[in-house]
Structure 1
Amino acid sequence: MSNLSRRGALRLTACIALSCTLSLASCGRSDDTAATGTVKPIDASPATGTINVWAAQGDADVLDKVIAPFKAANPDITVKLTLIPNAEYYTKLQSAIAAGKGPDVAQLFPESQAQFLDPSILQPVPDGLVDPGAFFKSLWEAGMVKGVAYTVPWYAYTYALVYRSDLAEKAGVKAPASWDEMVPFLKALQGAGAGRGLGADIGWDIFNGQDVAMYAWQAGGSLLSSDGKWTLDTPEMVEALKFNASFFTSGVADTSGPTFLDAQPYFVAGKTASMITGPWVVGQLDTAAKKTGWTASHVATAPLPAGPSGSVSFSAGGSWGVLAGSGNTSASWKLIRYISQPSTQVAQYKAYSSLPAVVSAWDDPAIKGQPLLEAFLTQLKNTRTFPQVSTWQQVATRLGKEMEAVAKGKQTAEKAAASVQAYAESLGTGTG
């Protein structure tokens, strides 16, 4: 891929989602109960008219090519695709919605779409449009509020361990299966010649917060209670903060870098020997190494080492929703139904390496034949969604800042957890 990375692009997008200054209903989610009823199914007749589709630059860059068969099969449809830079996407979408000038169909992101999940903003997914069980469970759940689905997953990613297999072989070690095995494994990679065992950037606050949330799940914790209360000042969160800090206190990672933009060059050069990162890396390392085949001979992947409660990660990616004010609801949902088909998601993978949100699409030889993706598939089957509340992005940012302070020895894990809890409680959940 020529773009920096999908995670880098989505980081910019998610940062925009911190603001809820516009009069979107998610700043105090609507009590409209009409959305809890069933929605009229979408028939199989040809799609007609015009659909305005907005999407962020990146995975959607190839969408016109991917949906060409849909347009050919529906000759009376016109799809107008508007691609917006990631850093501006949510801001422009929010503004358009507030002005009543939104598109028919909008791309969203499961990890940061909570503010849009409201019947005054998005239409509920029609009955029978897709099979909810066809998608990775956590991705489907990321679009649900009070039993109503508002989005349909499009592509998926999660985190796994990417490491230098050549150094692991030289050191005579296998990928760690548990937290206890992680630091010794990374030290062994250093002993085999790496500068640091792990490349970890602790300066991306909101995304470091997401990382430590993942560790808290692995420790058996939660972020919200069943009754919607923040649960961040817990022994599990303290354990998660200490686990992350152990990479730095043990010397297998450096608080000064690499930065996110340097992660791949450091990895290829042997300055670092592993990354906890997403699947896009697999397709980019040959380019970073400037050598075709470098990845196949130097890299391996593995599911995340299990904490006390297992090897859980988070789910992220892309999704689609139809705006409440759409002027062509039927055709909009027919397009989303087409994009959700396994064959279409495989076509998207072939065009841009976007990994399918539909589980069965991973059986296609184009994907199944990529051994380095297997760990990501395993991990995607064991993921959770971040809290679907409008203040999560702000809480995650604060959590990331506290995580950095603990890693640098400027704050204890106990005080950091208490600080995050107090901050989260001051914000509430934004659900009214």
Structure 2
Amino acid sequence: MKKIASFVIAATMLCALLTGCGGKTTEPSAPDAQKGAQPVELDLYYWDESYNDTMAAVVEAFEAQHDNIKINITTIPWGEYWTKLQTALPTDSGPDLFWCNYMYSLEFIPNGLLAPVDTTNVDTGAFVEEALNMLSADGRLYAVPFMLDSVAMVYNKSLFDAKGIAYPTADWTWEDLRTNAAALTDENHYGYCLDYQSQMGTFNFLLQNGVTVYEEDGVTPNFNSDAAVEAFNYQYDLVFTDKSSPNATQLSELSKGDRFMAGQAAMTYCTSPYVATYYDALGDALGCVELPAGKEEACTLNAVGFAGSAKSAHPEEVQMFLEFASSVECQTMLAQSGMPACLEAANVWAERFGEDTNAAAFINMMDVAHRLPLAHKSPAATRSAYESECANIFAGTKTVEEGLNDAVAAVQAELGA
């Protein structure tokens, strides 16, 4: 896992020599050269309000360089975001630019809804390769990655200090997690807080136990394999045997994040965008560390990128923004809200929280990260079907075996199998 540190340093030096990620110089296109012309307006949609200030800064910087382009940004809540895009993108009523994650790229790219990115002036070598791969198809890039969701463990140093327990280290195993979670649990605190959903929770345990979540065909689930049952039993014991974590019913009443920020849970798993929120709540009491290892080291990896609509009436201006989004200037601004896909900017993100917080653990986890395991057909519906059964298991309404068998059946039903 430590290989990533030397790689990041080398990549940073290389980026500096090249004057940064996306440091290639481009000539202004005709629309920019038309001084005094009516500005071309582009609509940009995204879902995360925590990015509001950052997105405003990105747009301001872009418009300063392109005075004939105006970008209108709109934040749409996650629950409405994808429905709106699925309705609008096939028509000419959708946004020109929008955030797109890996899961929905599996749907939007085959349906011809994303415009391919011209990478002539994009320094793709400065980005995490897997992030580019996740947003590509048939050798073409369809979104410029700007945010990576790797998974690491966060912990509250104050709760460890109160019990006189040493902080977690990068060489912890599942056994260490279970032992220390139990030791940190008392009548007012949980030693650990389960995440029964996929990306930040159960998929990580499956991958660490050697489970191929979906076969190579992308549609055959392995949730109920022996190794999967073993991984779920480990988590089940944390909740119901050791009582070191709240169960799914309790988490529906007060979320994992709220419990962690309130100091009610000593440890939990999360993706990199949550670090800023948790740091605001806990300050220097927040610590980050690589995930405890099972049979192997692993975590999920998701990517979010800026995409352009294939239906946009302004493809040249869309391309200009996508090139800007790949630059070190833009990626560094985005580091104020999340971990960018450009390695140089990712280091800037980690340094924001200070050395003692060790946000670099999320960068280190990329060395053992696996692309988020999703069905290649109906990825959102199949993921939801799987997570519904996980909720039943960790609410105690189904056994592990019953829940996983039902999860396979539910996914197959969504796939029409």
Partner of 1:107: helix, strand, or coil?
Answer: strand
Q: Decide whether the 8 Å contact of 1:136 with 1:381 is kept in 2.
A: no
Partner of 2:293: helix, strand, or coil?
Answer: coil
Question: In the TM superposition, what are the counterparts of 1:34-53 in structure 2 within 5 Å?
Answer: 44-46=27-29, 48=32, 49-53=40-44
TM-score, structure 2 normalization:
0.79
Which of residues 317, 336, 341 in structure 1 aligns to 2:327? 341
After TM superposition, the structure 1 stretch with the greater mean CA deviation from structure 2, 166-175 or 120-129, is 166-175
Partner of 2:265: helix, strand, or coil?
Answer: coil
Q: Decide whether the 8 Å contact of 1:138 with 1:383 is kept in 2.
A: no
Distance, in Å, in 1 between the alignment partners of 2:25 and 2:43 is 18
Partner of 2:102: helix, strand, or coil?
Answer: coil
Question: In the TM superposition, what are the counterparts of 1:310-389 in structure 2 within 5 Å?
Answer: 310=297, 312-316=298-302, 318-350=304-336, 353-364=337-348, 367=351, 370-371=354-355, 372=357, 373-386=359-372, 387=374, 389=376
Distance, in Å, in 1 between the alignment partners of 2:205 and 2:125 is 27
Number of equivalent positions: 376
Which of residues 271, 275, 280 in structure 1 aligns to 2:268? 275
Partner of 1:173: helix, strand, or coil?
Answer: coil
Is 1:181 the equivalent of 2:167?
no
2:217 — aligned with what? 227
Is 1:403 the equivalent of 2:386?
no
Gap change, CA 1:58 and 1:156, over 3 Å in 2: farther
> Gaps spanning 5+ residues in structure 2: where?
1-23, 33-39
1:134 — aligned with what? 126
Deviations 1:364-404 (A, max 9, x none): 38736633211122123432222262422222222223223
Is 1:158 the equivalent of 2:145?
no
Gap change, CA 1:57 and 1:258, over 3 Å in 2: closer
Gap change, CA 1:127 and 1:366, over 3 Å in 2: closer
Question: In the TM superposition, what are the counterparts of 1:3-402 in structure 2 within 5 Å?
Answer: 44-46=27-29, 48=32, 49-62=40-53, 63-118=55-110, 120-169=112-161, 170-175=163-168, 177-190=172-185, 195-200=189-194, 202=196, 207-208=197-198, 211-232=201-222, 233-248=224-239, 249-255=241-247, 256-259=249-252, 261-285=254-278, 288=281, 294-296=282-284, 298-310=285-297, 312-316=298-302, 318-350=304-336, 353-364=337-348, 367=351, 370-371=354-355, 372=357, 373-386=359-372, 387=374, 389-402=376-389
Distance, in Å, in 2 between the alignment partners of 1:287 and 1:363 is 19
Please report how far the alpha carbon of residue 186 of structure 1 lies from its aligned counterpart in structure 2 after TM superposition: 0.7
Amino acid at match of 1:187: A
> Gaps spanning 5+ residues in structure 1: where?
1-40, 289-293
Partner of 2:75: helix, strand, or coil?
Answer: strand
Amino acid at match of 2:201: D
Gap change, CA 1:382 and 1:341, over 3 Å in 2: farther
Q: Decide whether the 8 Å contact of 2:375 with 2:382 is kept in 1.
A: no
Partner of 1:158: helix, strand, or coil?
Answer: strand
Gap change, CA 1:126 and 1:194, over 3 Å in 2: same
Residue identity (%): 20
Amino acid at match of 2:52: D
Distance, in Å, in 1 between the alignment partners of 2:335 and 2:294 is 32
Partner of 2:168: helix, strand, or coil?
Answer: coil
Q: Decide whether the 8 Å contact of 2:386 with 2:410 is kept in 1.
A: no
Amino acid at match of 1:425: Q
Please report how far the alpha carbon of residue 220 of structure 1 lies from its aligned counterpart in structure 2 after TM superposition: 1.2
Deviations 1:296-333 (A, max 9, x none): 1x2311111112121x2222353111111222212211
Is 1:425 the equivalent of 2:412?
yes
Distance, in Å, in 2 between the alignment partners of 1:324 and 1:200 is 40
Partner of 1:67: helix, strand, or coil?
Answer: helix
Partner of 1:98: helix, strand, or coil?
Answer: coil
CA RMSD of aligned residues (A): 3.0
Q: Decide whether the 8 Å contact of 2:151 with 2:271 is kept in 1.
A: yes
Gap change, CA 1:74 and 1:51, over 3 Å in 2: same
Please report how far the alpha carbon of residue 258 of structure 1 lies from its aligned counterpart in structure 2 after TM superposition: 4.0
Distance, in Å, in 2 between the alignment partners of 1:209 and 1:95 is 26
Q: Decide whether the 8 Å contact of 2:200 with 2:271 is kept in 1.
A: no
TM-score, structure 1 normalization:
0.77
Deviations 1:82-103 (A, max 9, x none): 3333332222222212333222
